[in-house]
Structure 1
Amino acid sequence: MSKIIYLIGAGASYYSIPVVNNINYRLNETLERITQLTIPENLKSQYALHNLKTITKMQTLLKETKDWLIEELGDNSIDTLAKRLSDLNDYENLIKLKAALSCYLIYEQTKKEKWNKLAEASREIDPRYKDFFARAAKRSENYVQINNNISILSWNYDLQFEKTYATYYPDKDLGEFSDLLNSFPSYGKSKNDILVNNEKFNLVKLNGTAGLLYYKNDDKLFPLFKNFKENNTYSKELLALDVFTNTLISSLSYTHSPGLKFAFEASKDQDTPIEKAKILCRDAEKLIIIGYSFPDFNREFDAAILKNLSSVKEIIIQDYVSGYERNLEIINTIIDDKIIIKHHKDLDKFYIPPF
């Protein structure tokens, strides 16, 4: 069984994706750069499906969406705006938000690796994921896989786990990584066909994943790009532009829906990530919280997860002192006071307890 459950948030991807306080500026700056992209003549032939006129239309559409989003956001977070749009059943604008955010996140995670000083959003992959894989994984059967005593619940809609796996097997596509990670939602499978396996490592994406789409006819999830082997600067920008356009147009046509799906949108059925997370939590003995701040709009779902930790004896919070104290206050209002809560202050590596 998965004896150790991780609950991770934005801080766990800090060196690849900016945290809430800084993401609005970075999103605006990045999307503006993509709208200003000029494709050199010698590169146009690489994109048979993209003539210059089509690319220009896509860029204009992105700019209009970006300008709307930045104005709507103001000083609020992406999640706050998404919650308001969801509460208002404003489907079209929620799709616009998801399309722009997905475009941004895909671009942010395809930036070239720089061996400069480690800083916020300076790396394609937060190096702590690579370190975690190296320490928590072993070769099992034909592939390197994370220890079966571990499962992860992630509030992040990024692809950090998949990209880390790609450093081991660069020729594999996203669907194969989904299988190796026992992801939920899983690519190419209907949600009804996916069962949580407590005997293996599981990765549950509580807010879904950017850069993927559901095909509504069979409710199957598929990626908008095959793999991470995008080496040219311009191809990265076009990849992000493709993700934006396909997410927006396909979703507004009602044939598809974005793979990025906030927990507060979910229906009250047994096939939501939250329900899968609750199943995993029942036999866990330790909970490790990394980079997560228990925001108000997730409180209902976090409480549902924490209340299912019936066998947990210890909770470890890996965070700054201020983050630890805030989380401690929230957790103590939900769980049994007999559970031991500890603070792990070293943020250089994701904490792994003895198995």
Structure 2
Amino acid sequence: MTHVTYLLGAGASAQSKLPINKDLIKALESIVYESQFIKDSIDGDRYTKTIQSTYSKVIQDAKKEKSIDTLANIHFGNNNYLHDIKSLLWIYFSANAGKDELDPRYKHLLLRFRDKVSKTFKLRDDFSVLTWNYDLQLEEAYASIAGLELWKTPLHLKSYPGLYFLKKDTFNDNIDSKQVQLIHLNGCAGYYYDSEIRDYKNWYNSDLTNPQEYCNMARLVGQKFHTNAPSKTAIHNCINFAGEENQLNETKKDLVKLISKKTTHLVIIGYSFQDFNENMDTFIIENMENLRYIMIQDKYPEKIEELLRNKYPVLHSKI
């Protein structure tokens, strides 16, 4: 019996319009810069003023490091600063989700593993995805094929942490963990915890060049994401770096372990195994006790192969 798992990095979304590396920093900067042009007459303007004051330092530091991921790794012990990085990432990727700007390869991937027996669109049980990406490209592809609203896809695709945010109170009781097929290792965009009503909600597809929509975003972030408490339950949006210690990550590791253990074939797309992800990458590889074969789909596959051979000698015969 075989089980195919895809491990995705930023290169897997390369054909979408979403930026990476320096281009991502520029995109995040544009969000902060836009706050200067919101007029005082618009309701909610007091929240827009905090966007620049809160996130300008993140942009300045990210430019210096030339990577938002490196910046997060450097400041990993600073909960308040890390919170600001996550919130800014969440704003960008949430606002740009649901705009039908898909990397077409995601649809091809899902259609390849569709359950042809089912009368409605669903995926085969022998297929899983572990992704380091914050974007909702896979969810958007699934929603497009199945004719669903984007925010509902975790209920059908069984993705994490989206499914947890939609079904938190009953997640452990009613969700068969073996059914989870997509895990965002660093969390994802689109969902957040409303600290006023103490419930989870969704937000995506927003034109932040529109003053009113920008104000709505600023108000949401200002009202809902104001608490930076480092407790295990302090999950304010679903960007959640793999090395953080909280309930969301404890559950994530359990789910990753289940997928890893049943994986027989691993396909790596657009991922270069960065050092700051090493603990989770090692956890994934070490739990793939039934792994038979690795396929690398990358612009420079020989570099990824060499890296894997050096880091994980146990994989020599499987690449």
Tell me if TM exceeds 0.5. yes
Comparing 60-69 with 147-156, greater Cα deviation is found at: 60-69
Aligned mates of 1:304, 1:179 — CA distance in 2 = 27
Shift of 1:309: 0.9
- 1:336 paired residue number: 314
Cα distance, 1:217–1:240 mapped onto 2, change above 3 Å? closer
Q: Kindly provide the amino acid, as one letter, of the partner of residue 144 in structure 2.
A: T
Q: Kindly provide the amino acid, as one letter, of the partner of residue 155 in structure 2.
A: D
Aligned mates of 2:282, 2:273 — CA distance in 1 = 10
Aligned mates of 1:313, 1:291 — CA distance in 2 = 21
Comparing 186-195 with 307-316, greater Cα deviation is found at: 186-195
Shift of 1:58: 3.0
Cα distance, 1:244–1:289 mapped onto 2, change above 3 Å? farther
Cα distance, 1:298–1:155 mapped onto 2, change above 3 Å? same
* 2:31 matches 1:64: no
* 2:191 matches 1:189: no
TM-score, normalised relative to structure 1: 0.74
- 1:42 paired residue number: none
- 2:107 paired residue number: 130
Shift of 1:237: 7.1
- Kindly indicate whether the alpha-carbon contact (under 8 Å) linking 2:29 and 2:59 is maintained by their aligned counterparts in 1: yes
Comparing 99-108 with 4-13, greater Cα deviation is found at: 99-108
* 2:79 matches 1:91: yes
- Kindly indicate whether the alpha-carbon contact (under 8 Å) linking 2:158 and 2:180 is maintained by their aligned counterparts in 1: yes
- Kindly indicate whether the alpha-carbon contact (under 8 Å) linking 1:9 and 1:154 is maintained by their aligned counterparts in 2: yes
Shift of 1:142: 5.0
Comparing 70-79 with 294-303, greater Cα deviation is found at: 70-79
Equivalent residue in structure 1 for 2:64, among 69, 75, 93: 75
- 1:263 paired residue number: 242
Aligned mates of 2:218, 2:119 — CA distance in 1 = 36
Count of aligned pairs: 307
Aligned mates of 2:255, 2:134 — CA distance in 1 = 17
- 1:8 paired residue number: 8
* Secondary structure of residue in 1 paired with 2:267: strand
Q: Kindly provide the amino acid, as one letter, of the partner of residue 9 in structure 1.
A: G
Cα distance, 1:243–1:59 mapped onto 2, change above 3 Å? closer
- Kindly indicate whether the alpha-carbon contact (under 8 Å) linking 2:6 and 2:266 is maintained by their aligned counterparts in 1: yes
Shift of 1:147: 2.3
Shift of 1:181: 0.9
Mapping 1:1-355, distance limit 5 Å: 3-14=3-14, 15-33=16-34, 36=37, 52-54=42-44, 56-76=45-65, 77-87=67-77, 90-111=78-99, 124-138=101-115, 141-170=118-147, 172-174=149-151, 176-185=152-161, 186=163, 187-190=165-168, 192-193=172-173, 194-197=175-178, 200=179, 202-214=181-193, 221-224=200-203, 233=207, 242-243=216-217, 245-253=219-227, 257-267=236-246, 271-321=250-300, 324-337=302-315, 339-341=317-319
Task: Show CA shifts across 1:165-188 (max 9, x none).
Answer: 2223455351x3101111122132
Aligned mates of 1:257, 1:148 — CA distance in 2 = 31
Cα distance, 1:298–1:151 mapped onto 2, change above 3 Å? same
Aligned mates of 1:95, 1:224 — CA distance in 2 = 18
Shift of 1:81: 1.8
Task: Show CA shifts across 1:214-240 (max 9, x none).
Answer: 468999754235xx6x7xx57977556
Cα distance, 1:180–1:249 mapped onto 2, change above 3 Å? same
Aligned mates of 1:22, 1:256 — CA distance in 2 = 27
Q: Kindly provide the amino acid, as one letter, of the partner of residue 276 in structure 1.
A: L
Cα distance, 1:247–1:234 mapped onto 2, change above 3 Å? closer
- Kindly indicate whether the alpha-carbon contact (under 8 Å) linking 1:82 and 1:94 is maintained by their aligned counterparts in 2: yes
* Secondary structure of residue in 2 paired with 1:6: strand
Q: Kindly provide the amino acid, as one letter, of the partner of residue 160 in structure 2.
A: F
Task: Show CA shifts across 1:28-75 (max 9, x none).
Answer: 134434653679xxxxxxxxxxx8231x22332222234222112123
Cα distance, 1:222–1:2 mapped onto 2, change above 3 Å? farther
Aligned mates of 1:19, 1:171 — CA distance in 2 = 28
Q: Kindly provide the amino acid, as one letter, of the partner of residue 151 in structure 1.
A: S
* Secondary structure of residue in 1 paired with 2:121: strand
- Kindly indicate whether the alpha-carbon contact (under 8 Å) linking 1:13 and 1:160 is maintained by their aligned counterparts in 2: yes
Aligned mates of 1:240, 1:169 — CA distance in 2 = 30
Cα distance, 1:180–1:67 mapped onto 2, change above 3 Å? same
Identity of aligned residues (%): 26
Shift of 1:296: 0.9
Aligned mates of 2:122, 2:220 — CA distance in 1 = 32
Task: Show CA shifts across 1:121-151 (max 9, x none).
Answer: xxx2112112222333245545211222210
- Kindly indicate whether the alpha-carbon contact (under 8 Å) linking 2:31 and 2:92 is maintained by their aligned counterparts in 1: yes
Tell me the C-alpha RMSD between the 2 structures. 3.3
